[in-house]
Amino acid sequence: MHLTLTSASHNLKRGISRDNSQSPLPTVFLMSDDDRLPKPSAALSKLPRGSCFILRHYNDPERFQIAKLLSALCRRRQISILVGGNWRLAARVGAHGLHLPGHMARIGLEPAARLWLKRRKGLLTAAAHSPQELRQAYKIGASAALLSPVFGTLSHPHRRPLGPVRLAAMVRSTPISVIALGGVNSKTLNALRGTGCHGYAGIGFASENQS
């Protein structure tokens, strides 16, 4: 997986994004998942340095312990870590920022969360599935929106994927950096070239090579 992701990251910088040569925003985002990637440590150890990990595990009773251990691993690997939906937990474990799922992005940040991000100089990302949600992500000050599903995905098997053409059109119509999410793997990655998205995110591209 390491070689696949490393070369994919370089390909993104060369041919997918509009202009990310000077951007501190990562191009590769790995997301945890209670079912498909419940123990992401092995995948994290193989991510390219400079990538980003988004901890979800929203319903895990051991979420603090998991976040603490994975935050330490990310620091050793020079990988940014964002905590999904809980800025207080993000602050406790020294995370680099916060990721908002769709229902939280629609509401926006509470003042305390915004203040923490400002002081931390942290990264804020938000989930999006439509042009309206892209606009909302930009409105709340997110650095990037994770737009999905780009391709068919096990996470949302009944949702119609955007496909590269619609993805490119949505990227052109928004000022926010777009991270492609949903069904991104070694077989679909090349289809992102020329879409203008900044990078890609997912679960499957990590788990597909772990046998």
* Domain locations in the chain as residue ranges: 2-207
Structural class in CATH, domain 2-207? alpha beta
Q: What is the mean pLDDT of residues 119-133?
A: 97
pTM score: 0.89
Task: Determine the Cα–Cα distance for residues 165 and 169; give it in Å rounded to an integer.
Answer: 6
Task: Determine the Cα–Cα distance for residues 125 and 84; give it in Å rounded to an integer.
Answer: 9
Structure tokens given for 21: 């040569």
Average pLDDT, the chain: 88
More confident residue, 102 or 35: 102
Q: What is the pLDDT of residue 117?
A: 97
- The 10 Å CB-count burial string (b at 16+, else e) for 70-81 is bbebbeebebbb
Residue 87 pLDDT exceeds 50: yes
Q: What is the pLDDT of residue 45?
A: 85
Residue 2 pLDDT exceeds 50: no
